[in-house]
Amino acid sequence: MPLPTRRGLDAVPAYRQGRSAPAGASKLSSNESPHPPLPSVIDAVHDRLGSIHRYPDMSAAALRGRLAERYDVDPSLVTVGAGSVEIAAQLIHAVAGDGDEVMFAWRSFEAYPSLVRIAGATPVAVPLTSEHVHDLDAMLAAITPRTRLIFICNPNNPTGTVVGADELERFVAAVPQDVLVVIDEAYVHFDRTMYYSGGTEGAGIELFRRHPHVAVLHTFSKAYGLAGLRIGYAIAPAEIAENQRKVAVPFGVTDLAQIAASASLDAEDELAIRIDEVVRQRDRLHTLLTAAGWPAVRSQANLVWVPAGERTEELETLLREGGVITRAFAGEGVRISSGSAEDIDRVEAALAASAANPDLSARKEATV
């Protein structure tokens, strides 16, 4: 007799991690920080190693208190999880189930459709515009009585594009208030269109303050460089936050992750210097790609999207042969994370080698 399996999981692909890089190559496949942890963060984690035989504070009260103070909200509205992906799963489980719909743009964060199906809900993917931006009008038109949650990934992964604050305001105001709008700002620190405007951190928090059906999702994985420790958080309406705590994995956020997150908040001036460097290399990466004839999209995340279409494998291959590991989406494009100056030097060298290769140049001309 075969073992029992849950119906519907055949439609759920396993999440595909960015490819690892061989020694000497640049791993630009996972949108990670190219910088090692700050010494102060390493010290804070090291000081807690002697207590890892104890369970962590499941509520992460100290960290939640700091975040609540930072955003001037009640601590009960702050929830934590093992990275932004677990927070996204919490939000889905908090509001949606069998027969319900969860909407998102596509292409966007690769985990969205799987997380929705795992919750038993129905994913509704609305294509991006020809400019690779969320099509907010089409998303409004796709709302049905079954819609429970809408994700707006801003800046969007993998395209790096953003929806402006005014556009988001109009969209949220038009969404029925019995539908939760989640502004996923995993990449907000790299956004130079909104993050530094008026000293705000993206549009999400202000929208949360003005609308009763908005939640905001942040992570310590990207700008803070804690991808390996897995910690993210949401600021959500009280009833949503309460349901998140019900569906969260018990003890899912380790003590070391909580300590590292708090230490990172203490070191934001140092981290800002690193973030600026990532942004500089991102913009340099975009310039190199466009100069080489690739249709790179202007990005506000820590990545650059190249919608190469049928030439996706060609671009992924020439970069891999140049020692650069990227994230390719077959037939759609290549996402290249912003790395160190040395990493982007390798991209430049790979593109230059391709231009100097007559056989490869001929293949490019044949596909244009």
CATH assignment at residue 331: 3.90.1150.10
Per-residue pLDDT at 198: 41
Same domain, 208 and 336: no
Same domain, 300 and 335: yes
Same domain, 14 and 163: no
Report how far Cα 344 is from the mean position of its chain's Cα atoms.
21
In Å, what is the CA distance from 175 to each residue of 148, 247, 341? 11, 25, 43
Mean pLDDT, the chain, integer:
93
Per-residue pLDDT at 80: 98
Contact 237, 77 (CB under 8 A): yes
101 lies in some domain: yes
Per-residue pLDDT at 3: 79
Same domain, 185 and 140: yes
Per-residue pLDDT at 6: 76
Same domain, 212 and 348: no
Q: Which residues of the chain have pLDDT under 50?
A: 196-199, 361-368
Per-residue pLDDT at 199: 44
55 lies in some domain: yes
Same domain, 137 and 185: yes
Q: Which of 331, 362, 368, 336 is nearest to 350 (CA)?
A: 336
4 lies in some domain: no
Q: How many domains does the chain have?
A: 2
The residue among 266, 301, 329 that closes a domain is: 266
Per-residue pLDDT at 102: 98
The residue among 220, 238, 266 that closes a domain is: 266
In Å, what is the CA distance from 84 to each residue of 109, 149, 229? 11, 16, 12
361 lies in some domain: no
Range of the domain at 344: 9-30+269-356
Per-residue pLDDT at 364: 46
- Region at 51 (left for phi over 0; alpha for psi -120 to 50; beta for the rest): alpha
Per-residue pLDDT at 222: 96
Instruction: Please write the tens of the pLDDT for every residue from 38-65.
Output: 999 999 999 999 999 999 999 999 999 9
Same domain, 98 and 163: yes
CATH code at 74? 3.40.640.10
Same domain, 200 and 276: no
Pairing of the two strands 180-184 and 214-219: parallel
Same domain, 142 and 277: no
The residue among 234, 266, 298 that closes a domain is: 266
